[in-house]
Amino acid sequence: MASFRVAILGCGTVGGGVAKILLEQREALAARAGIEIELVRILDLFPAASSKRHGLPIELYCGGSNELSREEAGQFTEEILKDDSIDLVVETIGGSGQAILDIALSVLDHGKHLATANKALLAKHGPAIFGASNRNSRAVGFEAAVCGAIPIIKGIRECFTGDEILALSGILNGTSNYILSKMEAEGQSFDAALKQAQDQGYAEADPALDINGGDPGHKLTILLKLVFGLDVDFEDLPIEGIESITSADINFAQEMGCSVKLIGYAKKEGDDVFATVRPMLVKRANLLSDIQGATNAVRLDNRYSQENVLIGEGAGSLETGSAIVSDILFLAKYGEKAVQELPSSDCRLRSFNELAFRYNIVFTTADVPGITGIVATAIGNQKINIDTVSHNRHDPENAVFSIATMPCTYVQIQAAIEEIQGSHPGSLLEEPKIIPILGE
């Protein structure tokens, strides 16, 4: 049987999972692909540690068991790129800087397929990478770049091609969902839930990209291209993280029959696409409200097939590794036929603040008679219909209450807040917290 030869650059958590699956499932993968998939080289700066951690043969590693310098790693990378017998390179080094971009482009320019889980790289340099893919007739497998083991990329590119996706919403980051789940279920503070996420290995020592919305922002940028053919600069995508979510926000959400989730959201109206990553109050009737722990979920709202939800593990060595292996098998089986141009359209990204949406607004005010009426009147003056008003939560110096609106724009809400500040200076003790409500 002919063989399809694979090399791995970077054998940490994900790369190790890929290697383990390729070796353990060698016969099964060959039967499915109709060609033997052979792992021939692994490049990692710390071969001995990687080999021991993942239970991989040390002889597969470039340089044997010796630790590699950056210069040596660069030399081995060149050897792999110039080896015409290698058909595909798995990039699991990570990062989105120029050095990683150069490696990805070089893989394709040397006539090899590329498989990667690097969502930051694709979000920031997608046009360059897919341009090189088309130019060289070599494919890029990136199923693992969005929600790990969930087959959302293949679902969009293959399963829903007979339909039209009108909107998508999803929990695209397991770390943030783990933190919010702990805050809701156990009443933990944000800091306590974050520490537990780090202790459990869900959050890095520096969890910035997970909690500030950057990681799900990268994934949403990729999905916007796949679903709507929309080229978005990552920096132009409106993103908010979960750092400001408090126990009070969780309590208000529970009173309204909601859970707080960090949601990646996009909706198409005509040629306009409204997209954002931010915390939302998700109604209990929406399946996303029930997604707990480090699980990911993506909901697609389609013209013909209606609601479809894909749920699964969004991270992990073997979980993410399995998605990369599925790409390897697909490319081994179909080769150049697997090269697909990404969709392109005339859609434009519009400010999410211009989209009519339900919102919950939390006001912290001076504890004076009539303050709720003052706030409600200002909201009504902006032609915003009010759904519910919570009970005031008094302390010796202020009152805290929330108002849930019917669909309106963020711009309308800001105008109402400006009216309150202008007509009753000093009545608002803090900037009101405005959180969208995601319904059914």
Q: State how far the Cα of 318 lies from the Cα of 20, in Å rounded to an integer.
A: 8
pLDDT at 403 (0 to 100) = 95
pLDDT at 368 (0 to 100) = 79
The number of beta carbons lying within 10 Å of the beta carbon of residue 172 is 29
pLDDT at 367 (0 to 100) = 79
- Tell me which CATH code domain 165-312 carries: 3.30.360.10
Instruction: Give CATH 3.40.50.720 domain extents, the chain.
Output: 3-151+318-338
Q: Which CATH number fits domain 3-151+318-338: 3.40.50.150, 1.10.3720.10, 3.40.50.720, 3.30.43.10?
A: 3.40.50.720
Q: State how far the Cα of 56 lies from the Cα of 275, in Å rounded to an integer.
A: 42
Residues in the chain: 440
Q: What angle do CA 14, 19, 21 make, to 5 degrees?
A: 95
Instruction: Give CATH 3.30.360.10 domain extents, the chain.
Output: 165-312
Instruction: Give CATH 3.30.70.260 domain extents, the chain.
Output: 356-438
pTM recorded for the entire structure = 0.95
Q: State how far the Cα of 275 lies from the Cα of 228, in Å rounded to an integer.
A: 11
pLDDT at 202 (0 to 100) = 84
Question: pLDDT tens digits for the chain (440 residues)?
Answer: 689 999 999 999 999 999 999 999 999 999 999 999 999 999 999 999 999 999 999 999 999 999 999 999 999 999 999 999 999 999 999 999 999 999 999 999 999 999 999 999 999 999 999 999 999 999 999 999 999 999 999 999 999 999 999 999 999 999 999 999 999 999 999 999 999 988 888 888 889 999 999 999 999 999 999 999 999 999 999 999 999 999 989 999 999 999 999 999 999 999 999 999 999 999 999 999 999 999 999 999 999 999 999 999 988 899 999 999 999 999 999 988 989 889 999 999 999 999 999 999 999 998 778 889 999 999 999 999 999 998 877 777 788 999 999 999 999 999 999 999 999 999 999 999 999 999 97
List residues with catalytic annotation.
Answer: 219
pLDDT at 393 (0 to 100) = 79
Q: What angle do CA 269, 274, 277 make, to 5 degrees?
A: 150
> Can you name the residues that pair with 408 across neighbouring β-strands?
357
Amino acid at 67: E
Query: Please, what sign has the CA dihedral across residues 339, 107, 24, 317?
Result: negative
Q: State how far the Cα of 417 lies from the Cα of 49, in Å rounded to an integer.
A: 57
Amino acid at 64: G
pLDDT at 1 (0 to 100) = 65
Q: What angle do CA 129, 37, 121 make, to 5 degrees?
A: 20
Domain 356-438 has CATH 3.30.70.260: yes
The number of beta carbons lying within 10 Å of the beta carbon of residue 229 is 14
Q: State how far the Cα of 29 lies from the Cα of 144, in Å rounded to an integer.
A: 18
Please check whether residue 325 is in contact with residue 25, taking contact to mean a CB–CB distance below 8 angstroms: yes
